[in-house]
Amino acid sequence: MKEIRNLLSFSVNICANEEIINKIIKLGKGVESQKVDFKSQLTLETRKDKGDLLKDFTAIANSESDWFYNCGYLIIENFKYENIDKLKADIDQLMKEYISPIVEFFYYKI
């Protein structure tokens, strides 16, 4: 299995922790499900990019699964943003504008 570096994980529930995220990463893309999605990159440059991210978050948040304690995970490979706090603020703003109720999420730099 190739080593994946510069990861960012978004968790759509507070029950996430680095141990669970590391297990998901070790299992790799074969573990993708309603609650786990891997992306090769994250950009918020276009309207389509923003819409795709919001669709991913809402799909994960609205699905039910016993896997990983019903938490949802969006794992971004090759993460390149310098200012993660600004990214989180940008995503928060998108959610406030387009999603109700807002999907609560947490991020982990791995």
pLDDT at residue number 94? 92
Three-state SS string over 49-97 comes to: HHHHHHHHHHHHHCCCCCHHHHCCEEEECCCCCCCHHHHHHHHHHHHHH
| Cα–Cα distance, 24 to 32 (Å, whole number) | 9
Average pLDDT rounded to a whole number, residues 70-88: 79
Reported as type and span, the H/E element at residue 22 is: helix 18-27
Global pTM value = 0.76
* Residue 2, in any domain of the structure: no
* Count of the separate structural domains present in the chain: 1
* Residue 79, in any domain of the structure: yes
* Residue 86, in any domain of the structure: yes
Average pLDDT rounded to a whole number, residues 76-92: 81
* Range of weakest confidence among 58-62, 72-76, 106-110: 106-110
* Residue range of the domain that includes 79: 8-109
* Residue 98, in any domain of the structure: yes
* Residue 90, in any domain of the structure: yes
